[in-house]
């Protein structure tokens, strides 16, 4: 449904390798810290006690809006989705996965290596770009279940956030209410980010440049995912 295989890349689609690399490096500079909690927010999380619904909703929304890995993945997911009911299905699957592991990961204290999880999140961006490029159909003659992949990678995106929240020893008093409020904020942030993406995509699709640059856009996204994976795997190797 949301995969649009490209045929043999046209000459204009292969232009600008230097631009692709430059854009990927720019993305990686921000994506490397995409799940990080800012020092100010971290201090607030560590100091508060009890139920604080509005602050946690704000923190959740802020995380999603500034979470470049989430935004890149969502951008890839909706890249070739033209009907709002299709968008709703895929975004709901991602939200279900993201919410489930974020809540369970913090509640049960799942201690998962943050470098490994963030590398898998980078892989999710690579997967979605390759799917959009029709690579799996050309290479293996099969099309992965895009709905299942969106849900599964949603689990990893949520677990990535949970690992960061656990680093700050959030208070047990009011924990469930605060986590639910944070998750509501995440969904609000997702709606805001997705709205901006869809508005931009709607305008872009009405121009002649969409099909001229769709291939390059997905190559840039894939490269950024590989850079994030490399950054995180390097951090994992150095931490051992």
pLDDT tens profile 179-236: 999 999 999 999 999 999 999 999 999 999 999 999 999 999 999 999 999 999 999 9
Q: How far apart are CA 89 and CA 220, in angstroms?
A: 26
Question: Alpha carbon of 174 to those of 61, 104, 180: distances in Å?
Answer: 19, 15, 10
Burial of 227 (0-12, 13-18, 19+ CB in 10 A): buried
Q: Which strand (E) or helix (H) includes residue 205?
A: helix 175-205
CB atoms within 10 A of CB 83: 9
pLDDT band at 14 (very low <50, low <70, confident <90, very high): very low
- Confidence class for position 16, pLDDT limits 50, 70, 90: very low
The whole-angstrom separation of Cα 27 and Cα 14 is: 20
Domain boundaries, the chain: 15-239
Higher pLDDT, 123 or 34: 123
Regarding predicted confidence, which is higher, 63 or 140?
140
Q: Output the average pLDDT for the chain.
A: 84
pTM of the entire structure? 0.83
Q: Quick check: helix, strand or coil at residue 23?
A: helix
Strand locations in 129-178 (E): none
User: What's the confidence (pLDDT) of residue 1?
Assistant: 59
Q: For residues 2 and 81, what is the distance between their CA atoms, to the nearest angstrom?
A: 5
């Amino acid at each position: 449904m949301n995969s649009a295989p490209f045929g043999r890349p046209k000459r204009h689609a292969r232009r600008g390798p230097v631009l692709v690399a430059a854009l990927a490096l720019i993305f990686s500079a921000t994506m490397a810290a995409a799940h990080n909690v800012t020092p100010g927010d971290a201090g607030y999380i560590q100091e508060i006690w009890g139920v604080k619904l509005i602050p946690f909703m704000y923190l959740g929304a802020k995380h999603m809006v500034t979470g470049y890995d989430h935004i890149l993945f969502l951008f890839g997911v909706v890249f070739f989705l033209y009907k709002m009911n299709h968008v709703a299905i895929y975004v709901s699957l991602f939200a279900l996965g993201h919410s489930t592991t974020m809540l369970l990961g913090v509640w049960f204290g799942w201690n998962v290596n943050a470098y490994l999880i963030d590398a898998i999140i980078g892989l999710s961006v690579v997967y979605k770009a390759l799917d959009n490029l029709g690579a799996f159909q050309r290479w293996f003659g099969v099309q992965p279940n895009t709905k299942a992949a969106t849900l599964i990678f949603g689990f990893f995106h949520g677990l990535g956030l949970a690992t960061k929240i656990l680093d700050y020893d959030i208070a047990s008093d009011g924990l469930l209410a605060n986590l639910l409020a944070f998750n509501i904020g995440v969904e609000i942030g997702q709606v805001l980010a997705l709205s901006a993406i869809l508005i931009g995509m709607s305008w872009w699709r009405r121009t002649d440049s969409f099909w001229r640059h769709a291939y390059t856009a997905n190559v840039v996204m894939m490269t950024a995912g590989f850079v994030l994976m490399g950054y995180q795997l390097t951090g994992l190797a150095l931490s051992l």
